[in-house]
Amino acid sequence: MTVDDLDPDLHELAMRLERERPLPRPAFRGDLGRRLAGQGGRPAPRRLRLLVAAQLGAGTLLLAVAALGVVAKAGPLAL
């Protein structure tokens, strides 16, 4: 949907909001652009494999607990 598709009252409001939209100061925009350009890429965490293994283990444990709850007909997933 574009601004032109709106009814006349909303079209006028949309144009006014777009016209009066505040913009960041040029100094802020320049600093932000230089910061983003200088970042390159984020280095991987030192213990990435440990973090991945911990997340996988926690997910597996939670799935096992949910499955046991369904089998035992107890808990929030019991039918």
Q: Are residues 7 and 35 in the same domain?
A: yes
Q: CB within 8 A of 4, min separation 6: which ones?
A: 11
pLDDT at 12: 87
State both tokens at 63.
């799935």
pLDDT at 50: 93
Among 24, 20, 27, 29, smallest CA distance to 12 is for: 20
Whole-prediction pTM value? 0.44
The count of domains in the chain is: 2
Q: Are residues 51 and 69 in the same domain?
A: yes
pLDDT at 4: 66
Write out the residue range of the structural domain in which residue 67 sits: 45-79
Mean pLDDT by 10 residues, the chain (79 residues): 73 88 92 84 82 96 92 81
